[in-house]
Amino acid sequence: MRRVVWLALLVIALGACAATPRSGAPGSSADVASGSARDRARIHTELGVTYYEAGKLAVALEELNEAISADRAYAPAWNARALVYMDLREDANAEADFKQALHVDPSNSQAKNNYGLFLCQRGRGQEGIRYFLDAVKNPLYATPDVAYKNAGLCARGMRDLPSAEEYFSRALQLNGRQPQALYSMADMRFARGDAQSAKGFMDRYMGAVSAPGPEALWLAARIERQMGDGNALAAYAAQLRRNFPGSPETRALEEGRF
């Protein structure tokens, strides 16, 4: 699940500036030849993000290079290009672009959050958490719960469970339906033997998502088994078998590896 979570985080981070290319893209880039430098940078960034989300990284890079050439002071272009380099595992370029995004716009909380993700993924968790916590200091940052949730994931990855729980709790204070924070809290509480608390977080998680994945269904089934609720266990088991018949979680269920 963690690999999926990180990927989702990248898409979410870019989504605020995403747009759909006009008919004939990438030839549509010619349509932005006129207009201000900032407008050209913005539109090329939007195109680059869209191509990135479609998995067309080479074309995304071309568009983002155009954006930066048009306006080197446009932080979203540097931020987006850093994420493309991050996906390409070109770490030196990614880090340089994150730093440039923050150089031209030191208050850019989205860039701080994304740089924090990069650092955490590369084994530099303490540095990453500092960027997450710096991001939430900006009162204009629209999604501080995401930064706190990311800090929680990062701390948990470092096995600092008390800090992870603190950050997840802060995320939920800001957004009580933050799905990854709810799932993580349920998982952590279950791992330490507190099935009652885990069930509370899992019930909230199920109310916050429309299509739970196999890991969430398997965790929910194990929680209900621990709680002694056979009906709830059977319902989650049925969803797991129906929706994810070939998953490792379904195999674990069929083999009774609770």
Q: Quick one: three-class SS letters along 184-236? A: HHHHHHHHCCCHHHHHHHHHHHHHHCCCCCHHHHHHHHHHHHHHCCHHHHHHH
Mean pLDDT in residue range 65-83: 98
Give residue-wise pLDDT tens across range 117-172.
999 999 999 999 999 999 999 999 999 999 999 999 999 999 999 999 999 999 99
Q: Per-residue pLDDT for 3 more than 80?
A: no
Residues 95, 181: one domain? Answer: no
Q: Per-residue pLDDT for 4 more than 60?
A: no
Q: 106, 126, 151 — which closes off a domain? A: 106
Q: What is the pTM of this model?
A: 0.84
By percentage, how much of the chain surpasses pLDDT 90?
86
Arithmetic mean of pLDDT over the chain: 90
Q: Is 210 exposed, middle or buried (0-12, 13-18, 19+ CB in 10 A)?
A: exposed
Asked whether residue 257 is domain-assigned, the answer is yes
Question: What per-residue confidence (pLDDT) applies to 20?
Answer: 37
Q: What range defines the domain where residue 5 resides?
A: 1-106
Q: Which one has a higher pLDDT value, 26 or 173?
A: 173
Euclidean distance between CA atoms 153 and 163, whole angstroms? 10
Question: What per-residue confidence (pLDDT) applies to 214?
Answer: 98
Q: Per-residue pLDDT for 112 more than 60?
A: yes
Euclidean distance between CA atoms 188 and 195, whole angstroms? 10
Euclidean distance between CA atoms 195 and 200, whole angstroms? 9
Mean pLDDT in residue range 98-105: 98
Question: What per-residue confidence (pLDDT) applies to 32?
Answer: 53
Residues 6+ apart with CB under 8 A from 211: none
Asked whether residue 25 is domain-assigned, the answer is yes
Mean pLDDT in residue range 29-40: 70
Q: 91, 106, 121 — which closes off a domain? A: 106
Q: Are 17 and 45 in contact (CB under 8 A)?
A: yes
Asked whether residue 169 is domain-assigned, the answer is no
Give residue-wise pLDDT tens across range 182-237.
999 999 999 999 999 999 999 999 999 999 999 999 999 999 999 999 999 999 99
Q: Per-residue pLDDT for 35 more than 80?
A: no
Asked whether residue 202 is domain-assigned, the answer is yes
Asked whether residue 113 is domain-assigned, the answer is no
Euclidean distance between CA atoms 116 and 102, whole angstroms? 12
Question: What per-residue confidence (pLDDT) applies to 27?
Answer: 44
87: confidence class by pLDDT, cuts 50, 70, 90 = very high
Question: What per-residue confidence (pLDDT) applies to 198?
Answer: 98
Question: What per-residue confidence (pLDDT) applies to 157?
Answer: 97
Question: What per-residue confidence (pLDDT) applies to 109?
Answer: 97
Asked whether residue 231 is domain-assigned, the answer is yes
Mean pLDDT in residue range 111-116: 98
Mean pLDDT in residue range 36-59: 97
Domain at 20, CATH number? 1.25.40.10
Asked whether residue 218 is domain-assigned, the answer is yes
Euclidean distance between CA atoms 255 and 258, whole angstroms? 9
Asked whether residue 140 is domain-assigned, the answer is no
Question: What per-residue confidence (pLDDT) applies to 21?
Answer: 40
Question: What per-residue confidence (pLDDT) applies to 14?
Answer: 42
What's the domain count of the chain?
Answer: 2
Q: 69, 91, 106 — which closes off a domain? A: 106
